[in-house]
Structure 1
């Protein structure tokens, strides 16, 4: 029991450290993230962090995984409570915009920033970001396919195109909101996807009007 308690405390500490790393990376960049910077921010010894991550790259990869967990917890999980079909697809978009608008992360979106930062840098960090982007797109495509199967989206809807538009609107919203007032970004992002879904839905009453 004592060992289990220590392991649980160690896991909570590691998660808390990585939460800080995710937040820092949205401001300083993933490449700017270091064990020294993290230790200084947390007020702990750098040597203590070496027990978890032996290199900057290990820390970066662990930070990416924690960002993925945050996304699953705070964006995907709320949307999955909506009924399967077009309403779940819509809920996913709204959940994403709500996550951005709540300023959970100081730099807006971890993945948007990291993908721009590493899109021309080969290596393990680039490869893992690419894998997760492909995973996310495939997930949106799956929700689109489920909506078609349920008869809540027209059969001719191209789910690959739909997922592309979802991602493009989401990225544009978070990037624009960092430079301009958020009211010039999120309402338009909401409207763009809502209009797209209502136009393709045989029963538009399943979706809000605005």
Structure 2
């Protein structure tokens, strides 16, 4: 008698289980990514404190247990949002800018892309800035995660300034932390005036402020002999 569906070999069964597991994993990752998209939008509008498993379940149309299965707690959800925001910030600002050669070109690219990012966030809000207001006096894992991301970005700025100094495009006495501090100050002023006060021309003022800052530090050409 011939069997229409003979038993699968152990190797075949293993491949089937592997494919099934891969599909389940891929689906789980896609679901988590969709939840994070919604959480980023919600936190930009309501702040990290506006995030909750229940609220996110309503927004995504999922059950609370479904959202909980991906994050486990409100705190882990907030930390995951911070990390995802930082990943996207790197993709949009840092990585494209460092394709520029070391020096003023790279430094200008970093600031220009930072400005572009803030411009997009004028209506939605910046998690770095709003999160700092929410958690500046609240120690804990969420504050630590947020501070770590901001420090990582500031460290990258410091290094870009140091490299510009090392290649001779900024003055030897350029203070990298001070220059990065002033660049950050321009971004904070831009966010405040453009988002809160709705001041026209804030973006142009921030760009002019950076050019003025750069002009104070650019190395003068060597005198001709």
Alignment of 1:8-19 (within 5 A): 8-19=26-37
For residue 62 of structure 1, report the CA deviation from its aligned partner.
Answer: 0.9
For residue 182 of structure 1, report the CA deviation from its aligned partner.
Answer: 5.7
The answer on whether the counterparts of 2:187 and 2:206 sit within 8 Å (CA) in structure 1 is: yes
Give the structure with higher Rg (CA).
Answer: 2
Alignment of 1:93-172 (within 5 A): 93-103=111-121, 106-172=123-189
1:44 aligns to what?
62
1:22 matched to 2:40: yes
Unaligned runs of 5+ in 1: 205-210
**Count of residues in Structure 1 that have an aligned counterpart in Structure 2:** 203
Per the normalisation by structure 1, the TM-score is: 0.89
Per the normalisation by structure 2, the TM-score is: 0.84
1:81 matched to 2:99: yes
Q: Larger relative CO (CA 8 A, sep 6+): 1 or 2?
A: 1
Question: Structure 1 39/203 Cα, relative in aligned 2: closer, same or farther at 3 Å?
Answer: farther
Unaligned runs of 5+ in 2: 1-18
Alpha-carbon displacement from aligned partner over 1:157-200 (angstroms, at most 9, x marks no partner):
00010111111111221122112336332111111111111231
Q: Alignment RMSD, CA only?
A: 1.8
**Alignment partner for residue 214 of structure 2, among 197, 201, 207?**
197
Q: Which range moved further: 38-47 or 111-120?
A: 38-47
Q: Which range moved further: 27-36 or 79-88?
A: 79-88
1:183 aligns to what?
200
